[in-house]
Structure 1
């Protein structure tokens, strides 16, 4: 299976994946979505994206945490989950001493600072 789906699986509203920058559709090029999900209308130019997307329908969780029994749909989610075991918080706020295990939590936190500036 193509490893691109493991490198950058960010969920979209459709439940699909966002392509890494080097794979995104170029403006002016026709879209070639030749691979389709067996369960819904989701289509992609890349078979590995459809295979990864289909896990949403099948419930398959092939990526396991080596420290506990938890299993995940995407390899990226194991990496994020491992931080709860290690306590690693690589995303630091530049405006206060807080740090976070996930970038999305830092981004949400930064809204507090933005709202306090006004």
Structure 2
């Protein structure tokens, strides 16, 4: 179940295909307002997620997180065969 009715409505949009939040620039629709706001950064060129180390900006927090793992050398996903570490599980799967 869902604790808040709004979360149920957002979930139901997956099944209905409803995308009520439209980009005024290109017309692309989104299920959630937050995703529309993230998308609009493409048109404005804004990169609000900044790296504290080097100052590089990113449109999405997930991109910043990946960048920071590369900066620190963190590679939490290990190959069980050779022991090589990877930044993402996807990169590990490609390796295997």
Is TM-score (shorter-chain normalized) higher than 0.5? yes
Which TM-score band (shorter chain)?
A: 0.7 to 0.9
- Cα separation, 2, equivalents of 1:94 and 1:56: 39
What is the SS of the residue equivalent to 2:92? Answer: helix
| Residue 105 of structure 1: how far off its partner (Å) | 1.8
Q: Residues 61-76 of structure 1 correspond to what in structure 2 (within 5 A)?
A: 61-76=47-62
Q: How many residues align?
A: 86
Q: What value does the CA root-mean-square deviation take over the aligned residues?
A: 1.8
| Residue 55 of structure 1: how far off its partner (Å) | 1.2
Query: Whose helix fraction is larger, Structure 1's or Structure 2's?
Result: 2
Match of 1:107 among 84, 93, 96: 93
Q: Does 1:46 align with 2:35?
A: no
5+ unaligned residues in a row in structure 1: which ranges? 1-21, 111-118
After TM superposition, the score normalised by the length of structure 2 is 0.77
5+ unaligned residues in a row in structure 2: which ranges? 1-9
What is the SS of the residue equivalent to 2:71? Answer: helix
Deviates more, 1:65-74 or 1:100-109: 100-109
Which 4+ stretches in 1 moved above 3 angstroms? none
